[in-house]
Amino acid sequence: MTRLVIIGAGGHGKVVADCAKTIDRHRQIVFLDNAYPEHSGFCGWEVVGHPDDYLNFQQGSEYFVAIGNNQVRRQWQDTLQQNNCDIATLVHPSSQVGTDVSIGKGTLVLASSVINILTRIGEGCIVNTSASVDHDCVLGDFVHIAPGVRLAGTVTLHAGVFMGVASAVIPGVVIGKNTVVGAGATVVSDIPEAVTVVGTPAKVIKHNV
């Protein structure tokens, strides 16, 4: 069994550690966090260093980036991979993953989520608690779908999309990269990249810089 080194000991880090504990694949779970040494840990898990110390723990370890921000998560995962660090993928045992689903490195699939047949999920994604991803969906790298999100069949989310809590997308819709969908929004038509949309039906309220 390997050690799991989690980058980030905030709220998302807590969820990642709890998921990893449930999977029970790692002999030890530790954190690296910017608040070290003031932040010493929680629930029996220790913060053992700053994120920049990651190479000190490389032997016998897998790494996981527990940072909710899609761009920052991508930067850290890219750095780890460039330095030949092994990246974990964590799928909670209470989730349901269908036939011929692919899940990329560094992706987190949390409790009670459902991912249906022939879906493709990229690297560094977050499929949060009780989210539903139906058949033949495509999630690009570093997508984050929040708790209770509903994606109907054949939806495409390009890289860096953030779907807010309890938002929904009808079948066949394409959402452009780095777009933010607000909590509770209903997306009924294609959305361009790098915008924020809210409401039912979802409408653009700003362009993201």
C-alpha span between 81 and 73 (Å, rounded):
12
| Whether the Cβ atoms of residue 157 and residue 164 lie closer than 8 Å to each other | no
| Whether the Cβ atoms of residue 162 and residue 177 lie closer than 8 Å to each other | no
Burial environment of residue 67 by CB neighbours within 10 A (0 to 12, 13 to 18, 19 or more): buried
| Whether the Cβ atoms of residue 73 and residue 142 lie closer than 8 Å to each other | yes
What single-letter amino acid sits at 173?
V
**26 carries an active-site annotation:** no
Say which of 135, 144, 158, 207 is annotated catalytic.
135
Tell me if residue 121 falls in helix, strand or coil: strand
User: Which residues participate in catalysis according to the annotation?
Assistant: 135
